[in-house]
A and B are shown apart, each in its own frame.
Chain A
Amino acid sequence: MVALNSRFLLGKYREAFVVDGKGENPIKAIFTLMLKFGLIDGLLTVSKDGNSPRLIFKAEDVEIPVRNSCFGVNALLKKAVQKYRLSRLAVFGPACTFDGLNKTQYFGIGCNWTKTAVALKISFLCPGVLTDTAFLSEVVDITGKRAGVSRFYFQKGKLHYQLKTGEEITVPPSFHHRYVNSACRYCLNLSGKGTDLTAVYLKERDKVLLIVRSERGLSTLAQVQRSSPSTLYFRKADRKEVESLISFLKEKVILNITDIIERVELGFPVPKWNDNKLRKFYRLWNSIDVNSEEEVF
């Protein structure tokens, strides 16, 4: 039977650091430094509000999403690789972006030679994405007041929103689950398995919990640190910090698994050419033999 353990929820990882950007968002600082020192030649990400994808070439233009809004990062992938011929591209987005990107890299469908064009993949821990209107409805549902969401973060295993009014609210996963994109309700990869680094936004704007998954991720951080030693401060994450994250993921993934089981039992259709991974998961859920593998290209 599948155990909702760290391996399943968070995936394989080498290290977890709390990174302090000293007044600046550390992810933004990492990308700014990478562009400045030529470690990457472009950054594919989304606007700050998460509503439209951005292709960034200059260090001073770097912006990263701070809301779990909808994305479409891969819509600019072909432009980046085939039009602008970027060969050291960094990509930042939620896990589903990397599902599309990794598939493009593995099979070669969609965008030519993507396999060799991407230098770094950073995802953020995604509790499920929402549109602007879904955000408004969710906030009304929780607080009874109408307000926009300016950013999201995790604290002590809970999801929080900072509203545009400055107020901070805790979002219960059961409420959140009702408003997310419908595909996010069947997602089992909230933590961005298959990327080099996973960023978890924390309450302090200038701090993130960074989960390092690959050798490439670790060496990139080392290079960034070497190029500008005083910009970022790394501290190994406490066991408690990682465990609180796992407890959130467990709570959310249980809701997702319930939806998957319901969907399979109701016999809802799946896309053609699909190897029916939901049904496979359904079978696995009651099986004792588990064989899961991950790969980063």
Chain B
Amino acid sequence: MFYRDKLSFEDEEFKLKVGFLHFSSCSGCQVAFFDMFEEAVEILDTVELVYSNMLTKRRDLPRMDVAFVEGALCIEDPHHLHLVKELQKKAKLIVAVGGCASFGGVRRLSCGNQLPQPQHQSFVPITEVDLVKPKVKYAIPGCPPNPSLLYSFLLALLEINEDFLLPFELMTFSTRASGMDIFVEVVNKGFCVGCGTCSTACPTRAITYNYECSRPAFNPGLCVYCGSCLAACPQSFKPYPQPTYT
């Protein structure tokens, strides 16, 4: 069921109930969300923040229309297991925010058995968990995603702008993303124009620009598996304002 199925669009009382859930991550995605500053004012009358581990005092998870989830799920953490079960019951729609929740992110490099919590050893992105997979409708790449992206995404969600949301829907089917994708998906397939957008999107400088051959250069040691590079690439999904063919 889509979050607006039973609500009238003319209903002035309508407020989209959103929550922000935190699994194993640095909380950077949530901070980026709150970094929208004055732009957030425009949407405050249509959105109600019902749960956030940073901004609300609630302990129990209330029912919500959209749950924004950051971080990867730790298999050994009972709190995470409880939270994911609650999420399945209470959220109508789930949005995986950031690299960790969408594609594993920097958690892909975790080997576990380390202090202060040696029992925390294995991490999976929310997009890989079958229990909530049917409800995970969108995945937002980035480490963290830009506030401007999150703002545009929230606006598109309120307006049900499918044109904008479609790429993020496609990303939920991809449980792995890294800088290597730029080579495998774009350069190797003959689509790289050498514009440099991937290198500007990379938060860790794992992708730089090789001026000699006019192609990106990838350093796997620096990659945090956030998927920003492929998402930003004009050849990955519809770049605006290319003419659209329908």
Contacts and interface: CB of A to CB of B under 8 A. Distances in A.
A271 interface: yes
A70 B146 contact: no
A174 interface: no
B175 to A, nearest CB: 11
A146 interface: no
B149 interface: yes
Given A269-B189, A294-B243, A112 B196 contact: no
Given A72-B209, A109-B141, A292-B243, A273 B167 contact: yes
B25 interface: no
Given A110-B201, A292-B244, A273 B195 contact: no
B196 A71 contact: yes
Interface residues of B, number: 55
A78 interface: yes
B24 interface: no
Given A183-B193, A297-B240, A75 B200 contact: yes
B149 A108 contact: yes
A79 B205 CA distance: 12
Given A107-B164, A271-B235, A102 B195 contact: no
A177 to B, nearest CB: 14
B241 interface: yes
A113 B239 CA distance: 17
B196 A273 contact: no
B242 A189 contact: yes
Q: Lowest 6 A-B CB distances belong to which pairs?
A: A70-B214, A75-B196, A110-B201, A100-B197, A108-B149, A72-B196
23 contacts: A11-B243, A70-B214, A72-B195, A72-B214, A75-B199, A103-B197, A103-B234, A103-B239, A103-B240, A108-B148, A109-B142, A109-B149, A110-B146, A111-B200, A183-B235, A186-B191, A189-B243, A193-B241, A194-B242, A275-B170, A283-B245, A290-B245, A292-B245
